[in-house]
Amino acid sequence: MTMQALTPDELRLLAEAGGAAPSLHNSQPWAFWPTPDARGLCLSADPQRSVPLTDPDGRALHISLGAALFNLRLAALHLGREPAVRLLPHASDPHLVAVLDLSQPGADPQPYGRDLYRAITQRHSSRQPFANRDVPEAVLGELMAAAVDEGVVLSALEEDGVRRVLSLTAQAERRTDADLARMAETRSWLRVEQPATDGIPQAALGPQDHEAHVPMRSFTGRPSSDAAHSQRFEALPQLATLTTRADLPADWLRAGQAMQRVWLLATVEGVRVSVLHQAVEWPDTRWGLRDPAEGPGHVQLVLRIGYGPPGSATPRRPVAQTLDLSGMRNTSEGGEP
Ligand SMILES: Cc1cc2nc3c(=O)[nH]c(=O)nc-3n(C[C@H](O)[C@H](O)[C@H](O)COP(=O)(O)O)c2cc1C
């Protein structure tokens, strides 16, 4: 059975879900439009929303798009449609990162065992200190299995690994802080005074670690010794890395889908997540993130996971700006059944 064309309301629901994904500095570098037969959806990068000094290769941009893609898959299932995804369908159009064929009915609206669709709006970055409470092995195991299902390895780090990654992150954070152009770029995504539809609002920023052992990204360039804006963080954070075999755009998209699936599952479990991306942004510190015992691979993300406040919601661009319903774009992809 082939499903009906998607209605404008269904397309808006899809774009709303895709657009709720996390992205570097809340840059939201995506655009959506229906395939010409309206039984599918195209997901494209919006190069105007890249963060070029911090992310010169577009790696983080693709991770953000991968996260949006996982949300689109969940929304499609919610609409009773099976998402059949083709990544990077045209070598000649690298901005078109995925085409979802949604023409077939979905067999199971919740194939991941949990209501991850509902968690889309409950998930936030939590940059607050976490409690000194271990994440149970069983939960870590579930998160690792979810990543593997997406073709990505999630490694929950032991104490040695945590200390190594914290030290590399602190090193990268210092380097970024001293780089005036990068800091100006980061600050350009802060939205502390005016209401906005992108970027990071004041309420979503967290304190710095008073003892400077959890190097949270300082979006403002404020040092951790600034007592008014620092707090004591958990003694030994639980960190996890997401690693892919190769380091190409398709791997970045897979890493983004895995990150989002892990993050939503964590949200359902009451576990909070924040991203510590600084060390991935410099080639030498990124290289050091690899655990030699784990064999070859490319670390794409460092996640800090634990128990604490949920974090606050950040704004999103209205669907009218991200979803183009104006007509069928000139792509041969959408016409296929
Ligand atoms: C690739 C990537 C890198 C990120 N790096 C950081 C980071 O280094 N520090 C941080 O606090 N948040 C980081 N974030 C989280 C984003 O700032 C966050 O997703 C965005 O502001 C939207 O907020 P939300 O996650 O609460 O929806 C990153 C997110 C992505 C996808």
Please report, to the nearest 10 degrees, the dihedral formed by the alpha carbons of residues 310, 312, 318, 322 taken in order: -60
119 or 292: which leads in pLDDT: 119
pLDDT in tens, 176-203: 999 999 999 999 999 988 789 999 999 9
Provide the CATH number for the domain formed by 137-306 in this structure: 3.40.109.10
SS3 of residue 44 by DSSP: strand
pLDDT in tens, 121-177: 999 999 999 999 999 999 999 999 999 999 999 999 999 999 999 999 999 999 999
Question: Dihedral sign, CA of 261, 265, 268, 270?
Answer: negative
Distance, CA 37 to ligand 1 centroid (Å)? 35
Distance, CA 296 to ligand 1 centroid (Å)? 26
> In the chain, which segments carry CATH 3.40.109.30?
8-117
Which ligand 1 atom is at minimum distance from the Cα of 23? 31
Is 329 buried (19+), middle (13-18) or exposed (0-12) by CB count in 10 A? middle
> In the chain, which segments carry CATH 3.40.109.10?
137-306
pLDDT in tens, 53-65: 999 999 999 999 9
Question: Averaged over 64-80, what is the pLDDT?
Answer: 98
Band the pLDDT of 333: cuts 50, 70, 90: very low
So what CATH class is 8-117? alpha beta
**R_g of the chain, CA atoms, integer Å:** 19
Q: Token pair 């911090």 is at which residue?
A: 54
Cβ atoms of 291 and 180 within 8 Å: the answer is no
Does the structure show a pLDDT above 70 at 225? no
Distance, CA 116 to ligand 1 centroid (Å)? 19
Task: Please state whether beta strands 81-87 and 153-156 pair in parallel, antiparallel, or not at all (unpaired).
Answer: unpaired
